[in-house]
Homo-oligomer: A and B are copies of this chain.
Amino acid sequence: MTKVNRKMRMGMIGGGKGAFIGGVHRLAANLDGEITLVCGAFSRDPQKSKESGEEMYLSPERVYGTYQEMIDSEKEISEGERMDFVSIVTPNHMHFAPAKYALENGFPVVIDKPLTFSYEESKELLKLVKETGLLFGLTHTYTGYPMIKEAKELIKSGKLGKIRRVVAEYQQGWLSTKLEDGDQKQADWRTDPTRSGKAGCMGDIGTHAENLAEYVTGLKVKELCADLTAFVEGRRLDDDGNVLLRFNNGAKGVLFASQVAAGVENAIRLRVYGELGGLEWSHEDLNTLIVRWLDKPAEILRTGVNYTNLSDRSLINTRVPAGHPEGYLEAFANIYRNFAKTLKARMNGESIDNEAYDFPTVEEGVRGMAFIDAVVESNEKGSVWVKINE
């Protein structure tokens, strides 16, 4: 067998001109030279889809009108020419159908979060992924940061002792006014229950905080008590929420997320404390991990400072030497690169270090949907304690 030695070929669903996250996915996929965009169904508006394809220098014949058309057509193209996987960057309510169709037709999938519109859909996708055995990636970007990976390894090593306390937060201020009444496309669908799902802020960013907390600690939230609010008058979904957490090992925590924290940009932060030490990470200073100890000075771990015995999981997801700041796109690109490298390894029947090259997948997606269900249920019942679905 000849080894496959080429860039992985990506087809994109959604993400036409003017979309936010589609462009981010493309930048992230470009970065490492491991992926090339070969086709797309960028918009339900054929003209817009065409123009988007032109801007991306695609052959016009591989810019499709619908995702079905794309999947059907690409399937007919010979391997090595056709797309190797699909990237889905549509709003939440249009995640499930194309993902299902791609999997059913043999295409691996990368998809934006939250995984689906509903918990039920997410369970169905999980089943399908298991059945097909196809590779599946979910872009929970924040776990792509090297220092987050280092934090995970640090806790796994036991150096911080048994974990007792977690503070996960994600505050933004951009929805402080009723932006959805204007022409802000992002605000529009994210506050619309028919497109976003049953949660607003909690689905959009609360799930990131939940994912970050569970990824880093290796623990699961067992039950929670949530108080959600739509502060902006007339808003149809929560734009703010505070949640008490209890973890499966007995640890306690708080998770809070807001899109009306006026003036705040995009502040996702995590603090975890164990019996022997603690760690603190903030998106505003993403290349730094503060590690605190009971009996010695706090330490400043930094992305790529390799003489400090950083883990492989962290170093492999770092591109440039210490002191050359990595950013959001690099974290995003880690997911794409790790997905592409794993895909190529599979094609070649090779193994790959699954921990160092890890990326979020359908299981994390199901967790996120269960989290959304739980916070909404808790809130609707008067902010009582509810168990989170396994």
Interface residues of A (CB under 8 A from B): 5-7, 20, 23-24, 26-27, 30-33, 37, 54, 56-57, 160-161, 164-165, 167, 169, 172-173, 176-177, 225, 227, 229, 231, 240, 242, 244-246, 252-254, 256, 258, 260-267, 271, 273-278, 283-286, 290-302, 305, 307-308, 319-330, 382-385
Contact = CB atoms under 8 A, between A and B. Distances in A.
Contact of A240 (B37, B164, B231): B164
A7 B164 CA distance: 49
A326 B32 CA distance: 16
B254 A278 contact: no
A177 B172 CA distance: 36
B322 A328 contact: no
A20 B37 CA distance: 27
B240 A262 contact: no
A57 to B, nearest CB: 5
A273 B297 contact: no
A298 B300 contact: yes
A173 B252 contact: no
15 contacts: A6-B57, A30-B32, A31-B329, A33-B56, A160-B262, A165-B258, A167-B256, A173-B294, A242-B244, A254-B256, A262-B293, A265-B322, A296-B299, A297-B301, A297-B302
Contacts of A244: 225, 227, 242, 244, 383
A325 B332 CA distance: 12
Given A30-B33, A165-B231, A297-B301, 7 more contacts: A27-B33, A30-B32, A176-B275, A225-B244, A262-B276, A263-B298, A265-B302
Given A297-B301, A322-B266, A258 B242 contact: no
A262 B246 contact: no
A322 B276 CA distance: 18
Contact of A294 (B164, B176, B291, B302): B176
Contact of A297 (B165, B173, B242, B308): B308
Contact of A327 (B32, B172, B177, B327): B327
- Those 6 A-B pairs whose CB atoms lie nearest each other, nearest first: A263-B292, A266-B323, A265-B323, A327-B327, A324-B328, A297-B299
